[in-house]
């Protein structure tokens, strides 16, 4: 087993895609994702990665090129962020609806206007319903591991769906941190070659993405919905086998001192790490606080969330995106939905913070917990509160 290396997370993603032996990379650079595809361009140019790198003039074209490449049975990778994901948007639906497996890392970024290159989950929420499997990561190691898992999940004959691996822009994409890379032979054992069952082939023509009149459209959408829900079992199986092979296990919902906690925080993405340290501090002060981290955003792990929070009295959900004029944090909405029918459930409090790259510090998480407990006690007139905003 090799040693950990100190490496920028974006560069490590490029190396993970190389270990996965991607065949085609089509991407357009955009902050804070640029270093990922820059490094892949270098790997392809130097011959270290035997892949076609398709330079395109926009993200819309990047995703279009990925669709075509995936339809031939190639192993396909792209990356984007923020406005790039927005420009790509209409084609993103096509990848999942046509059951074309591919992997896209999204270096999560705020949306304009005002222009912000910094991180939050606004871009994620705009693609919530596109039908991709979506996985969140908290550190560089998790990104590398989950890029490898994502290819295997996407290409599994039982799934055949595209997978997004989300990493927080800058807070994760631009960190230099210790990462352990598996050996090529280990990756090859874990991730067999892509065997897409219906590749484009002039000798055996197939129709893809056909026109669907009302008589068949609903049936195709139902099939898609059944398929993505069923993928959860394959995702869990893949994570278990990854853990058995590499010693690092992942689950749709993960806890941190959550089992006996009276008050639970719930976070998604790299801020979970800061939240963990804040939890340590609060527990040292004798507070009964824990953390639940949502790793699998789509398909949404309803049962796992219910199980993880059912013994708590208060559940404080911290979102990094807004639903304007809506119920507040998008993650909190999902969690509230999941718990609505439960006889025994915690009081749920919604906070939105960390927008456009603003840190939530250790003190910040402590303040969120105190305020959240206060709201749970006395109630609030608002659907949610924004944390750390000057009013």
Partner 1 sequence: MADKGELIEIRWHGRGGQGAVTSAELLAQAAVSEGKYAHAFPSFGPERRGAPVLAFVRIDAMKPLKIRAEITEPDIVVVLDPGLLQIIDVTSGLKAGGMVVLNTRKQAEQIKQEFGINCPLATVDATGIARELLGVPITNTTMVGAVLRASGVVKLESLIEPLKHRFGRLAERNINSMKRAYDETLIKE
List of residues contacting partner 1 (CB under 8 A): 3-8, 31-32, 117-119, 168, 170-172, 174-178, 270-271, 273-274, 276-277, 357, 359-362
CB of 277 to partner 1, least distance (A): 5
Structure tokens at 390: 């000057």
CB of 360 to partner 1, least distance (A): 7
Exposure string over 84-96, b if 16+ CB within 10 A, otherwise e:
bbbbbbebbebbb
Q: Which is nearer to partner 1, 33 or 194 (CB)?
A: 33
CB of 31 to partner 1, least distance (A): 7
DSSP letter at 42?
A: H
Cβ proximity of 80 and 62 under 8 Å: yes
| DSSP H or E segment with residue 14 | helix 9-19
Cβ proximity of 182 and 222 under 8 Å: no
**Torsion (CA) 250, 252, 256, 259 in degrees, nearest 10:** -120
Q: Which is nearer to partner 1, 190 or 271 (CB)?
A: 271
Q: Which is nearer to partner 1, 117 or 234 (CB)?
A: 117
Nearest-CA neighbor of 206 among 214, 198, 194? 198
Q: Which is nearer to partner 1, 303 or 359 (CB)?
A: 359
Alpha carbons 252 and 135: distance in angstroms, whole number: 8
Phi, psi of 87 (to 5 degrees): -65, -30
CB of 139 to partner 1, least distance (A): 8
DSSP letter at 314?
A: E
CB of 308 to partner 1, least distance (A): 19
CB of 38 to partner 1, least distance (A): 16
Residue 173 exposure: Cα atoms within 13 Å on the Cβ side: 29
Cβ proximity of 22 and 44 under 8 Å: no
How many helices (H) and strands (E) would you count in the chain? Answer: 12, 15
Cis amide bond preceding 299, omega within 30:
yes
Q: Which is nearer to partner 1, 152 or 358 (CB)?
A: 358
Exposure string over 150-162, b if 16+ CB within 10 A, otherwise e:
bbbbbbbeebbbb
CB of 4 to partner 1, least distance (A): 6
Cβ proximity of 102 and 127 under 8 Å: no
CB of 311 to partner 1, least distance (A): 24
DSSP lists the bridge partners of residue 370 as: none
Q: Which is nearer to partner 1, 180 or 228 (CB)?
A: 180
Q: Which is nearer to partner 1, 64 or 139 (CB)?
A: 139
Q: Which is nearer to partner 1, 18 or 35 (CB)?
A: 35
CB of 117 to partner 1, least distance (A): 6
Specify the 3-state DSSP secondary structure of 256: strand
Q: Which is nearer to partner 1, 91 or 360 (CB)?
A: 360
| Diameter of the chain measured on Cα atoms | 70
Q: Which is nearer to partner 1, 58 or 361 (CB)?
A: 361
CB of 383 to partner 1, least distance (A): 27
- Cα–Cα distances (Å) from 18 to 100, 194, 380, in that order, read 20, 15, 50
Alpha carbons 80 and 314: distance in angstroms, whole number: 36
- Cα–Cα distances (Å) from 107 to 9, 123, 233, 245, 345, in that order, read 11, 9, 26, 27, 34
């Amino acid at each position: 087993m090799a040693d950990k290396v100190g490496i920028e997370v974006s560069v490590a993603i490029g190396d993970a895609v190389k270990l996965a032996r991607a065949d085609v990379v089509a991407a357009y650079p955009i902050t804070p994702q640029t270093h990922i595809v820059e490094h892949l361009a270098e790997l392809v140019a130097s011959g270290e990665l035997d892949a076609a790198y398709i330079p395109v003039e926009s993200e819309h074209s990047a995703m279009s090129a990925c669709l075509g490449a995936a339809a031939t049975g190639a192993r396909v990778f792209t990356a984007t962020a923020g406005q790039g994901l927005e420009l790509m948007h209409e084609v993103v639906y096509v990848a999942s609806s046509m059951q074309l497996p591919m992997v896209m890392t999204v270096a999560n970024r705020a949306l304009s206007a005002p222009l912000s290159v910094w991180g939050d989950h606004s871009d994620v929420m705009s693609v919530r319903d596109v039908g991709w499997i979506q996985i969140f990561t908290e550190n560089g190691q998790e990104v590398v591991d989950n890029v490898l898992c994502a290819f295997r999940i996407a290409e599994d004959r039982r799934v055949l769906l595209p997978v997004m691996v989300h990493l927080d822009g800058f807070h994760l994409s631009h960190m230099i941190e210790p990462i352990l890379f598996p050996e090529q032979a280990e990756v090859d054992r874990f991730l067999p070659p892509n065997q897409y069952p219906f590749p484009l082939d002039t000798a055996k023509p197939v129709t893809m993405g056909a026109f669907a009149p009302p008589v068949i459209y609903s049936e195709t959408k139902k099939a898609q919905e059944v398929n993505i829900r069923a993928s959860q079992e394959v995702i869990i199986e893949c994570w278990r086998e990854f853990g058995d092979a590499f010693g690092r296990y992942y689950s749709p919902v993960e806890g941190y001192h959550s089992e006996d906690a009276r008050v639970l925080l719930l976070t998604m993405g790299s801020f979970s790490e800061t939240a963990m340290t804040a939890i340590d501090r609060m527990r040292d002060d004798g507070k009964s606080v824990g953390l639940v981290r949502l790793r699998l955003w789509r398909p949404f792990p309803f049962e796992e969330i219910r199980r993880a929070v059912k013994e708590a009295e208060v559940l404080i959900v911290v979102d990094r995106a807004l639903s304007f004029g809506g119920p507040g944090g998008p993650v909190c909405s999902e969690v509230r939905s999941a718990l609505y029918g439960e006889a025994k459930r915690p009081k749920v409090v919604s906070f939105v913070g960390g927008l456009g790259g603003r840190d939530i510090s250790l003190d910040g998480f402590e303040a969120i917990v105190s305020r959240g407990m206060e709201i749970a006690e006395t109630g609030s007139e608002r659907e949610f509160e924004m944390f750390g905003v000057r009013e």
